[in-house]
Amino acid sequence: MIKKFIDNLIAGATGRKPRFGKRQEVGPEQHAIDPTLVDERALSVVHTLKEAGHEAYIVGGAVRDLLLGLRPKDFDVATNATPEQVKSLFRRAFIIGRRFRIVHVVFGRGREHEVIEVSTFRAYLDSAAAEAVSGNERTSKSELAGMHHAVDASGRVLRDNVWGPQEEDAARRDFTINAMYYDPERRIVVDYHGGITDAKKRLLRMIGDPASRYREDPVRIIRAVRFAAKLAALGFKFEPKTKSPLLPSLPLLNEVPQSRLFDEMLKLLQTGHSLATIEQLKTLGMAKGIYPLLDLVVERAELPFVRAALQDTDRRVGEDKPVAPSFLLACVLWSDVREGWQDRLARRMHPFPALQEAIDEVFESRIGDISGRGKLGADMREIWMMQPRFEKRTGHTPFSLVEQPRFRAAFDFMRLRADVGEVDVVLADWWQEFSQASDLVREDLVAALRDEQKKQPRTRRAKPAAQDEARDLQPAAREAGDSVPADTDGTGGDAPRKRRRRRRKPAGQGSPGGDAQGGARSGTDPD
């Protein structure tokens, strides 16, 4: 009923019928999808929904990957069941989102858990249709009961919770290759817009008029870049009509909330194709203008330290390891922090408040209020503040430092610094061995270092600037209540001679802290 009502409104308001495409059902002999590539939990969700009398399909990028013979990393499901109906069918299911209300069905617990995202078929309403619906005096309350869709004067979609049939759900998706539906039980692919053909041709094509679709949701501009970078290695290219409006549409992003742009920037950098994304932005003439912090990433991508961080992130995603934005952004902004810190030290500020003040300045100028005050900002601060403490390898400091929750993040940050010559690689190697050792072996490492330092001449040696800063940090850190101990430069000191007895750990056991990109690493993992 609602579909017919909307069709009539669109025809009356625009003088044309909406183009929802022609439904095609393609069987296994044509699409050749290997059913063993489908995740069992996604199969379970589809089966449960269908058993309850609903339609249910695997949808989006997972179908595209299956058609290409790839095993998808994520599986999304689309259904005609409402979020409330979906939630009622699963023991661990949660409705999330405001602009897009979806259901997360959770399997497993802890780090091994998996989420299947379930969305309800949505109606396709452009600005003319939305105005016709909202302004029609004959529209009854019951007809509008499920409609929470709004479009502003420029045609930008504000809310999109209008449930509708599958053909309209397909029309409102971005690209043809992401608008296909796979029924794993019947083994058919439902295609309305030639997605199967475009997948075979390796073509990235927008559904409908690209310029209008970018106006409806300017974030599609960023999504287009992300998909192009992700699929470039598979030979995908933009259809000319999809590509040509991208650059002229860039100013539309000024109307998008900064928090959403920040999230989209993180997606660009954490898909496992950050370097390809940066090259795509340069090729399209969009290296500047999407988001200030992204502009900075593109600008600094050729710096050895930042490039190493981007490569490390891409590698971890490719290995199905977790990644955290705090680590990558800490790498990108480290030169600003270091420069501000050294400038304040030159003005004879106390080192500890000088470092804190430099960090505050960077958050204010580069990130603002978007995430600098939350967990992401706190993690970045810890990574930076722990760097001077790695210079101290005597006394109790190594034992306490390795127990810090963000030790692994700070260590991996320091390891990257060593890889580009910013700190001595011997220091990074020592900490790697220490972090993976048992307590008794750790004590032996500290004792061996102490003995080695005692054999060294007492003549004053020139120390690297980072060591001087770390040593100078100690008095002010004690004033501020920080745990940075004396003798930060690691050249000896009055460490107690009596060896402490600690609980024995299995040899090779790693640090209990999380790793740089947000997941625990075992002690045998050299990363």
Nearest to 517 by CA among 374, 372, 331, 348: 331
> CB–CB of 6/129 below 8 Å?
yes
Q: Which CATH number fits domain 325-479: 3.40.50.300, 3.20.20.140, 1.20.20.10, 1.10.3090.10?
A: 1.10.3090.10
370 pLDDT band, cuts 50/70/90, is low
Contacts of 497 (CB under 8 A, 6+ apart): none
Q: How far apart are CA 268 and CA 276, in angstroms?
A: 10
Nearest to 493 by CA among 462, 463, 471, 469: 471
Q: Element (H or E) spanning 191, and its range?
A: strand 188-191
212 pLDDT band, cuts 50/70/90, is very high
23-125+161-201 homologous superfamily: Beta Polymerase, domain 2 (3.30.460.10)
Q: How far apart are CA 228 and CA 271, in angstroms?
A: 12
pLDDT computed for residue 486 by the predictor: 37
> CB–CB of 122/164 below 8 Å?
yes
Question: Higher pLDDT residue, 254 or 126?
Answer: 254
Helix (H, G, I), strand (E, B) or coil at 89: coil
Is the pLDDT at 44 greater than 60? The verdict is yes
In terms of average pLDDT, the best of 84-93, 98-107, 392-401 is 84-93
Indicate the range of 41-55, 191-205, 359-373, 508-522 predicted with least confidence. 508-522
The per-residue b/e assignment along 395-416, b for 16 or more CB within 10 angstroms, e otherwise, is bebbeebbebebbbbbbbbbbb
Tokens 């430069």 sit on residue: 489
Tokens 């759900």 sit on residue: 169
Active-site residue, selected from the candidate residues 65, 174, 191, 379? 174
Residues 171-186 pLDDT 10s: 989 999 999 999 999 9
Vertex 32: Cα angle to 28 and 35 (nearest 5): 80
In DSSP terms, which residues pair with 89 in a beta bridge?
Answer: none
Is the pLDDT at 205 greater than 80? The verdict is yes
> CB–CB of 227/192 below 8 Å?
no
In DSSP terms, which residues pair with 95 in a beta bridge?
Answer: 103
CA-CA-CA-CA torsion sign (149, 60, 177, 183):
negative
Provide, rounded to the nearest whole percent, the portion of the chain with pLDDT above 70.
Answer: 74
Q: Element (H or E) spanning 151, and its range?
A: strand 150-151
Q: How far apart are CA 519 and CA 527, in angstroms?
A: 12
Whole-model pTM: value is 0.74
Residue 63 main-chain phi, psi, to 5 deg: -65, -40
pLDDT computed for residue 467 by the predictor: 47
Tokens representing residue 277 in the block:
């994304």
> CB–CB of 21/170 below 8 Å?
yes
> β-pairing, 188-191 with 157-159?
unpaired
Provide, rounded to the nearest whole percent, the portion of the chain with pLDDT above 90.
Answer: 57
Tokens representing residue 467 in the block:
């060591």
Residues 139-152 pLDDT 10s: 443 343 344 444 44
Q: Any catalytic annotation for residue 174?
A: yes
Contacts of 346 (CB under 8 A, 6+ apart): none
- Half-sphere exposure for 193 (CA within 13 Å, toward CB): 26
In Å, the largest CA–CA distance within the chain is 94
Q: Any catalytic annotation for residue 74?
A: yes
Active-site residue, selected from the candidate residues 39, 76, 160, 412? 76
Is the pLDDT at 496 greater than 50? The verdict is no
Tokens 């043809």 sit on residue: 176
Q: Any catalytic annotation for residue 320?
A: no
Nearest to 235 by CA among 177, 288, 183: 177
In DSSP terms, which residues pair with 122 in a beta bridge?
Answer: 163
Q: CA distances (Å), 157 to each of 126, 132, 224, 453, in order?
A: 8, 15, 17, 66
Give the mean model confidence (pLDDT) for residues 119-144: 54
> CB–CB of 104/66 below 8 Å?
no
**Percent composition of the chain: helix, strand, coil (DSSP 3-state, to 5):** 50, 10, 40
pLDDT computed for residue 524 by the predictor: 32
Q: How far apart are CA 331 and CA 307, in angstroms?
A: 9
Nearest to 331 by CA among 311, 301, 306, 360: 306
Per domain, the residue ranges of the chain are 23-125+161-201, 216-301, 325-479
Left (φ > 0), alpha (ψ -120 to 50) or beta: where does 110 sit? left
> CB–CB of 513/402 below 8 Å?
yes
In DSSP terms, which residues pair with 107 in a beta bridge?
Answer: 114
133 pLDDT band, cuts 50/70/90, is very low
87 pLDDT band, cuts 50/70/90, is very high
Give the mean model confidence (pLDDT) for residues 58-73: 94
pLDDT computed for residue 439 by the predictor: 86
Residue 190 main-chain phi, psi, to 5 deg: -95, 125
Is the pLDDT at 435 greater than 70? The verdict is yes
Give the mean model confidence (pLDDT) for residues 109-116: 82
| Ordered strands of the 102-107 beta sheet | 24-26, 188-191, 180-183, 56-59, 76-79, 114-120, 102-107, 93-96
495 pLDDT band, cuts 50/70/90, is very low
pLDDT computed for residue 21 by the predictor: 82
Is the pLDDT at 430 greater than 70? The verdict is yes
Active-site residue, selected from the candidate residues 74, 209, 263, 295? 74
Give the mean model confidence (pLDDT) for residues 256-281: 92
- Looking at beta carbons, which pairs linking 71-76 to residues 24 or more positions away fall under 8 Å? 71/37, 72/37, 72/39, 73/320, 74/117, 75/38, 75/39, 75/41, 75/42, 75/116, 75/117, 76/116, 76/117, 76/118, 76/119
